[in-house]
Amino acid sequence: MATLQEKLAESLAVLKAYQDAHSDNLVIQGADTLGRTHTERLVNSGYLQMVIKGWYIPSSPGSEGDSTVWYVSYWNFITAYLDNRFNGAWCLTPELSLYFYSGKSVIPKQLIVRSESGANNILQLPFGTSLLDIKSPLPPEVIQESRYGVRLYPMEYALLMVGPDYYRRNALEARTCLATLKDVAPLVSAAIDGGHTTRAGRVAGALRSIGRVEMADNLLHMMRQVGYTVTEENPFEENVCIDTVAISPYVSRIRLMWMQMREVVLNVLKVKPVQQDVSSIMAMMDATYVKDSYNSLSIEGYKITEGLLERVRSGNWDPEQDEADKERMNALAARGYYQAYIMLKQGIHGCFYGQSPAQLYVKKHQDWHFQLFEPCIRAGIVKAADLVGYRRHQVYIRNSMHTPLNPDAVLDAMSALSDLMVEEPNALVRAVLGHFFFVYIHPYMDGNGRTARFVMNSQLVTAGYPWVIVPVERRMDYMSALEQASVDENIEAFARFISSLM
């Protein structure tokens, strides 16, 4: 008779076969998909979680209460469930379609979808999320985006159909989408077909408000050419000029967020720099190294002691000869941190002899990150090729509603961040926003937090401010402030947190 372990192994083999065959979507519909016995066994052992009755997502034992599993599977579930329920005849509302087009990567608390078969019903989903389906006609055309298969209004039609309040309440999303428009012809066609003269005037005013004057004029000209009287109206509360057509919505979003957040940082951080000579600054960095590295590594979950850090710094650490050192990931992390710190220290020293602190970030942040993991390469734990450039896979932040950018968007976003760092004249803004946007983009599979804190301190120290240590005891405050900035686009809590440490 098979043991419990053997039965579980059999069920896991069935789950693995399903995962291998459906790697692009791991949502499981119905207990019969894997077999009722296997499904029940996998749920009871923690390898499956039930989203709603009859719908499951893979998990791991002990992850109960961890929202990450749900957020990772969220859009795949939404698409699979709605396609099943409405036979593909559904789409997000115009407002939520623009949410998607604008590159916003936060899981919405309530998703609203339209379908002619909708029932105006709210479906409660895990971790306080919900799905509302409303009975409503679909637009003349529905776009199915390629990553998850989510069904959307065409962007031009969505910009036309949202109300004036949307442009005020969701100005960042609206401007981001407007900045990516390359042609107003599809928008004009939709306006003509529906007789939407007032809405067309609103979009024309919105385009002019962000500096797209020629496009606004073209829209009005096309409408008037076919006999429509259009009155232009600016729906935004203020004008924000976006100089060029964005190559990606993520670039526009990051630029607009930076513009919005920098004023908050300047209002919150009133710290005055303390002018010191180069030798004093270098001595200050050395004096704080052990405490900084202990806290920075501990925040990331490494079990570090000050004794280990001293061994690493003094050279009494030998992973090639000492088997205990070789097997300790903590020691490898500590050594990598020290190597990155030495490189950062050399760069900071150079900034006092002519190098721009912003250019130090641009030229060296990839080297700092590489050094964090270089000992793991020598130990054979990490492949060197995996550390070349930015990540090529999706990454998630534990228990965060913010999903970092998809891999295809990372390079453009990081280039935009480099440009913003160089353009920004204020060191405090570069420090706070450089840190925030680095973890917001999350360009690497690991090491983002440590590198972001190097980014922050490189800008602070070179401007005469103290090196900021984020205490591990305040990790929850730190992560909460970053989450608020990522999800709500409100940087104030994070700026106040950094200010309290200076």
Q: What is the DSSP string of 146-210?
A: TTT--EE--HHHHHHHS-HHHHHHTHHHHHHHHHH---SHHHHHHHHHHT-HHHHHHHHHHHHHT
For the stretch 273-284, pLDDT in tens is 876 788 888 888
- Is 79 a domain residue? no
Which CA distances in Å does 485 have to 95, 229, 400, 435, 494? Answer: 21, 43, 12, 12, 7
Last residue of a domain, one of 214, 242, 270: 242
The domain tally of the chain equals 3
Q: What is the reported pTM?
A: 0.85
Q: Which pLDDT score is estimated for 182?
A: 86
96 occurs within a structural domain:
yes
The arithmetic mean of pLDDT across residues 317-321, rounded, is 54
Give the burial class of 194: count Cβ atoms within 10 A of its Cβ; 0-12 exposed, 13-18 middle, 19 or more buried: middle
In a domain, 76, yes or no: no
- Regarding whether 300 and 278 lie in a shared domain, the answer is yes
363 contact partners, CB below 8 Å, separation of at least 6:
none
Say what percent of the chain tops pLDDT 70.
Answer: 92
Residues 333 and 340: their CA atoms lie apart, in Å, by 11
Region 119-130 average pLDDT? 93
pLDDT: which is higher, 7 or 154: 154
Q: HSE of 415 in the Cβ direction (CA atoms, 13 Å)?
A: 11
452 and 497, same domain (yes or no): yes
Same domain, 30 and 93: no
Q: What is the pLDDT of residue 312?
A: 52
| Residues 52 and 111 both lie in one domain | no
Q: What's the average model confidence in pLDDT over 214-238?
A: 92
* Alpha-carbon torsion, ordered 246, 249, 250, 252, to 10 deg: 50
Q: How many CA atoms lie within 13 A of 55 on its CB side?
A: 18
Type of residue numbered 47 = Y
Averaged pLDDT, 482-490: 94
134 three-class SS: strand
List pLDDT tens digits, range 374-391.
888 887 777 878 778 899
Q: Going by DSSP bridges, is the β-strand pair 110-115/130-135 parallel, antiparallel, or unpaired?
A: parallel
Residues 431 and 381 in one domain: yes
Are 356 and 332 contained in the same domain?
yes
192 in a domain, yes or no?
A: yes
Q: Are residues 12 and 107 in the same domain?
A: no
- Residues with Cβ within 8 Å of 486's Cβ and at least 6 positions away in sequence, in order, are 106, 400, 402, 436, 439, 440
Residue 218's pLDDT band (boundaries 50, 70, 90)? very high
Q: Give the separation between CA 436 and CA 431, rounded to whole angstroms.
A: 9
Per-residue pLDDT at 354 exceeds 90: no
Q: Is residue 81 situated within a structural domain?
A: no
Looking at the structure, do residues 269 and 236 belong to the same domain, yes or no? no
136-150, 241-255, 460-474: the lowest-pLDDT one: 241-255
Task: Name the band, by pLDDT with cuts 50, 70 and 90, for residue 2.
Answer: low
- Same structural domain for residues 292 and 365? yes
Residue 322 pLDDT level (bands cut at 50, 70, 90): low
Structure tokens at 147: 């990553």
Integer Cα distance of 61 and 44 in angstroms: 9
Q: Is there a domain that residue 78 lies in?
A: no
What is the structure's pLDDT at 326?
Answer: 45
CATH number at residue 357: 1.10.3290.10
Same domain, 230 and 258: no
**309 lies in a domain?**
yes
Which CA distances in Å does 214 have to 3, 204, 266, 487? 74, 10, 34, 34
Provide mean pLDDT across the span 84-106.
94
300 and 232 in a common domain: no
Whole-angstrom distance, CA of residue 242 vs CA of residue 218: 18
pLDDT value at 485 more than 70 = yes
- Residue after which a domain boundary falls, among 222, 242, 262: 242
Domain-located, residue 31: yes
Domain that holds residue 223: 86-242
Looking at the fold, whether 111 and 18 belong to one and the same domain comes out as: no
Q: How far apart, in whole angstroms, are the C-alpha atoms of residue 128 and residue 74? A: 13
Among 220, 242, 264, residue at a domain's last position: 242
Residue 498 has pLDDT above 90, yes or no: yes
pLDDT tens digits, one per residue of 397-444: 888 888 899 899 999 999 999 999 999 999 999 999 999 999 999 999
